[in-house]
């Protein structure tokens, strides 16, 4: 596994774990918390209509003349599914001027050395007023991948960019773009004169976590994470007003709504902490690349992302849909079906939830995955584990390389959104399983490389559990594993009874069994248990634990 642990197979002792169910344990002190997931369930969305606050109307200065603007060296970055570039434009004139978010164009030398006019979607923000000697940033934003799975990177190169105004053009010679298509989102922003005061709403930072795709004419569910970078708590005396929208580049369809933040779910944000909020925005009926934007009005934090809006889909999986993985949702009659469907000349991953008793299927957002190569393949997703209809995990094993880490994604909203979860450096969560609204796993830390000449050193075996509805995990050390090395370890759960079995190194005692109730201490050892027969197992367990 490399940065991973010995695989769990459950093959050798599966019959023991199914039949030896008379095991109990005593629940005592709380286990040690492990830094595994980012946060809990988002604050629910509450559609309370509001009107964006307005400020006193002040006449804008004249438009900036091209000859008065000097472009500086660009900066770039990435986040929330998009790449962005910022070019400072300094006002060399002697008077203030304005840069409106309309009335300009952008050209570049594109593929084949052809002069190309880039299609631009202008931001909806206010006019940017630039004082003499001050700089405003010209922002260019585009998707950071060319397919929903994120496996096809932008490859069209654009250079020699020029920004065209009615009064002339400004050369952006230092700006080089890598795009999927000649469509970009642009805006002008004037840097704030100084950081907002700690403890105020403008001092918060926003981040959007949204699916890569949305269905035209539906509603897009996403999450906005508000974080407080200062040590002073931000209290919401009045619930802030926010505006959110989705703008489809071509043909230019927009949906925009304004609501009040659901402060009933979070009256404050403590210092150096964050709170996620569930959001819902209508999706226009047009299809294509779209800019998702969200901001607190006025002068509050803002964030955005790029979403691909696709045509409406059929309600049940049909046609070219090829199932590749089927699992039960907790102990319910619902099932999850992960598979592929034809998307033109390629395959797309789809996830469906079957309601049982012939009640049909509901399409969900599939977890992040590499590009499916053939029909019925689940991409890089190797396992789906759901405790109930809302809470689940997706496991992505490393592709044919034991030295690459496993990846884990969690959903707390029934597959509408997925979030990355980590279990610490060089740590893998093996045997991830769910029972009675609890998730369980064996955490193993392995350092070093796996090869024909070397073996990674694995230690720190811990039994971890997490209650459904949260992304918080806690773990306790598993006794007797100090010298386990890379030997096999197995995990099974029945109800609230948790079994961990492992083979000790060669020459040591026979397989050990450790049992726990709900994954908490004390963890009871059953040493030297020789599994002669099922009756022997049951009688010995009864004698051991009473």
Q: What are 269-306's pLDDT values in tens digits?
A: 999 999 999 999 999 887 777 888 899 987 789 888 87
Residues 52-80: what's their mean pLDDT?
Answer: 81
pLDDT at residue number 2: 41
Report the C-alpha gap between 532 and 540 in whole angstroms.
11
**Nearest partner of 292 among 261, 258, 259, 254, judged by Cα:** 254
Which domains, from first to last, does the chain contain?
66-189 (2.60.40), 201-310 (2.60.40.10)
Which residues have CB under 8 Å from 341's CB, separation 6+? 317, 319, 320, 321, 322, 347, 348, 350
Please say if the pLDDT value at position 38 is more than 50. Answer: no
The rounded radius of gyration (Å) of the Cα atoms in the chain is 28
Please say if the pLDDT value at position 401 is more than 60. Answer: no
Report the C-alpha gap between 200 and 269 in whole angstroms.
10
How far is the CA of 185 from the CAs of 19, 143, 248, 408, in angstroms?
Answer: 60, 10, 10, 31
pLDDT at residue number 361: 78
pLDDT digits (tens, 9 = 90+) for 128-143: 889 999 999 998 988 7
Mean pLDDT is highest, among 226-240, 340-354, 375-389, for 226-240
**Nearest partner of 179 among 197, 199, 152, judged by Cα:** 152
Q: Are 432 and 423 in contact (CB under 8 A)?
A: no
DSSP one-letter code for 217 = T
Report the C-alpha gap between 371 and 349 in whole angstroms.
8
pLDDT at residue number 240: 92
| Kind and range of the H or E run holding 130 | strand 128-130
Please say if the pLDDT value at position 507 is more than 90. Answer: no
Q: Are 250 and 236 in contact (CB under 8 A)?
A: no
How many Cβ atoms are within 10 Å of 457's Cβ, its own excluded? 12
Q: Are 244 and 45 in contact (CB under 8 A)?
A: no
pTM for this predicted structure: 0.47
Mean pLDDT over each residue of the chain, to the nearest integer: 75
**Nearest partner of 187 among 127, 250, 107, judged by Cα:** 127
pLDDT at residue number 86: 92
Confidence class for position 95, pLDDT limits 50, 70, 90 = very high
* Torsion, Cα of 305, 308, 312, 316 (10° steps): -90
Confidence class for position 18, pLDDT limits 50, 70, 90 = very low
Angle of CA points 289, 372, 3, to nearest 5°: 105
**Nearest partner of 137 among 117, 163, 109, 157, judged by Cα:** 163
Encoded tokens for 451: 């090869």
Q: Are 275 and 266 in contact (CB under 8 A)?
A: yes
Q: How far is CA 23 from the centre of its chain?
A: 38
- Within 13 Å and on the Cβ side, how many CA atoms surround 294? 28
Confidence class for position 539, pLDDT limits 50, 70, 90 = very low
Return the minimum-mean-pLDDT range out of 68-77, 163-172, 461-470. Answer: 461-470
Q: How far is CA 82 from the centre of its chain?
A: 13
Note if the bond before 149 is cis, omega within 30 degrees. no
Encoded tokens for 306: 């790029």
């Amino acid at each position: 596994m490399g940065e991973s642990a010995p695989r769990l197979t459950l093959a050798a002792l599966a019959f023991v774990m199914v039949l030896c169910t008379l095991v109990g344990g005593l629940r005592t002190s709380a286990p040690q918390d492990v830094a595994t997931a980012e946060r809990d369930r988002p604050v629910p969305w509450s559609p309370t209509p509001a009107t964006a606050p307005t400020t006193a109307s002040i006449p804008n200065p004249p438009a900036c003349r091209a000859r008065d603007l000097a472009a500086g060296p660009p900066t770039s970055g990435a986040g929330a599914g998009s790449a962005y570039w910022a070019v400072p434009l300094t006002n060399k004139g002697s008077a203030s001027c304005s840069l409106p978010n309309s009335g300009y164009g952008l050209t570049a030398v594109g593929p084949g050395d052809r002069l190309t006019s880039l299609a631009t979607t202008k931001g909806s923000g206010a006019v940017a007023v630039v004082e003499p000697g001050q700089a405003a940033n010209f922002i260019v934003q585009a998707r950071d991948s060319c397919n929903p799975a994120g496996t096809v990177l932008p490859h069209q190169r654009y250079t020699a960019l020029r920004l065209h105004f009615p009064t002339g053009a400004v050369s952006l010679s230092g700006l080089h773009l890598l795009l999927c298509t000649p469509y970009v989102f642009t805006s002008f922003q004037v840097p704030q004169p100084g950081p907002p005061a700690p403890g105020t709403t403008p001092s918060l930072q926003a981040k959007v976590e949204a699916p890569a795709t949305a269905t035209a004419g539906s509603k897009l569910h996403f999450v906005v994470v508000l974080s407080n970078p200062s040590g002073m708590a931000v209290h919401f005396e009045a619930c802030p007003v926010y505006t959110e929208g989705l703008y489809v580049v071509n043909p230019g369809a927009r949906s925009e709504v304004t609501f009040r933040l659901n402060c009933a779910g979070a009256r404050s944000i403590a210092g150096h902490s964050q709170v996620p909020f569930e959001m819902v925005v209508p999706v226009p009926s047009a299809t294509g690349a779209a800019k998702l934007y969200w901001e607190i009005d006025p002068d509050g934090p803002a964030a955005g992302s790029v979403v691909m809006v696709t045509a409406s889909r059929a309600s049940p999986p049909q046609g070219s849909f090829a199932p590749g993985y089927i699992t039960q949702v907790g102990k319910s009659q619902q099932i999850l079906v992960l598979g592929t469907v034809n998307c033109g000349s390629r395959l797309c991953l789809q996830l469906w939830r079957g309601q049982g008793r012939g009640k049909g299927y509901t399409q969900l957002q599939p977890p992040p995955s590499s590009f499916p190569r053939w029909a019925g393949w689940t991409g890089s997703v190797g396992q789906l584990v759901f405790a109930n209809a809302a809470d689940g995990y997706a496991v992505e094993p490393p592709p044919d390389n034991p030295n690459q880490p496993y990846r884990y994604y969690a959903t707390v909203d029934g597959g509408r959104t997925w979030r990355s979860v980590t279990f610490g450096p060089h740590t893998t969560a093996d045997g991830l399983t769910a029972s009675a609204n609890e998730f369980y796993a064996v955490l193993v830390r392995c350092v070093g490389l796996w090869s024909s000449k070397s073996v990674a050193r694995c230690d720190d075996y811990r039994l971890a559990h997490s209650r459904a509805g949260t992304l918080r995990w806690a773990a306790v050390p598993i006794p007797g594993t100090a010298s386990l090395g890379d030997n096999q370890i197995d995990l099974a759960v029945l109800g609230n009874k948790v079994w961990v079995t492992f083979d000790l190194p060669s020459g040591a005692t026979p397989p050990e069994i450790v049992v726990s109730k709900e994954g908490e201490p004390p963890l009871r050892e059953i040493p030297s248990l020789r599994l002669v027969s099922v009756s022997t197992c049951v009688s010995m367990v009864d004698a051991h634990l009473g």
